[in-house]
Amino acid sequence: MPTLSLPAVDPSVDHAIQAIVAGASEDATCTTDLAAGPWNFDTRPGYGPGSSMGDVIRVGAPRQGELPAEYREAGEDELDARIRAARATLGDRVVILGHFYQREEVVRHADYVGDSFQLAGAAKGRPEAEAIVFCGVHFMAETADLLSGPDQAVILPNLAAGCSMADMANIDEVEDCWEQLADVLGPLDVPDADGLLPVIPVTYMNSSAAIKGFVGRHGGIVCTSSNAATVLEWAFQRGRRVLFFPDQHLGRNTAKAMGVPLERMPMWNPRRPLGGASAEQLRDGQVILWHGFCSVHRRFTVDQIDKARAEHPGVRVIVHPECPMEVVDAADEAGSTDYIRRAIEAATEPTVFAIGTEINLVRRLAAQHPQHEIFCLDPVVCPCSTMYRIHPGYLAWVLEELVAGRTPNRIRVTDDVAEPARAALERMLAAKPR
Sites of contact with ligand SF4 (CB under 6 A): 52, 101, 137, 163-165, 206, 294-296, 358, 384, 386-387
Q: Number of C-alpha atoms within 13 angstroms, CB side, residue 254?
A: 30
Residue 99's closest CA among 17, 36, 35, 163? 163
Smallest gap from Cβ 286 to ligand SF4, in A, equals: 25
Backbone angles phi, psi at 410, to 5 degrees: -75, 135
Smallest gap from Cβ 390 to ligand SF4, in A, equals: 11
Smallest gap from Cβ 214 to ligand SF4, in A, equals: 19
CB atoms within 10 A of CB 60: 7
Residue 281's closest CA among 271, 266, 261, 270? 266
Nearer to ligand SF4, 300 or 397 (CB): 300
Nearer to ligand SF4, 112 or 178 (CB): 112
State how far the alpha carbon of 125 is from the alpha carbons of 117, 119, 120, 398, 426, in Å.
12, 10, 9, 22, 16
Smallest gap from Cβ 276 to ligand SF4, in A, equals: 23
Give dist(CA 375, CA 352) in Å, integer. Answer: 8
Smallest gap from Cβ 389 to ligand SF4, in A, equals: 10
Nearer to ligand SF4, 80 or 358 (CB): 358
- Terminus-to-terminus CA distance in the chain, angstroms? 55
Q: Number of C-alpha atoms within 13 angstroms, CB side, residue 139?
A: 27
Nearer to ligand SF4, 387 or 413 (CB): 387
Nearer to ligand SF4, 134 or 236 (CB): 134
Smallest gap from Cβ 73 to ligand SF4, in A, equals: 28
Tallying the residues shown for the chain, one arrives at: 434
Nearer to ligand SF4, 80 or 145 (CB): 145
Smallest gap from Cβ 220 to ligand SF4, in A, equals: 20
For the chain, what is the radius of gyration of the CA atoms?
A: 22
Contact 202, 231 (CB under 8 A): yes
Distance of CA 88 to the CA centre of its chain: 29
Nearer to ligand SF4, 232 or 387 (CB): 387
Nearer to ligand SF4, 218 or 299 (CB): 299
Smallest gap from Cβ 259 to ligand SF4, in A, equals: 26
Residue 163's closest CA among 223, 204, 125? 204
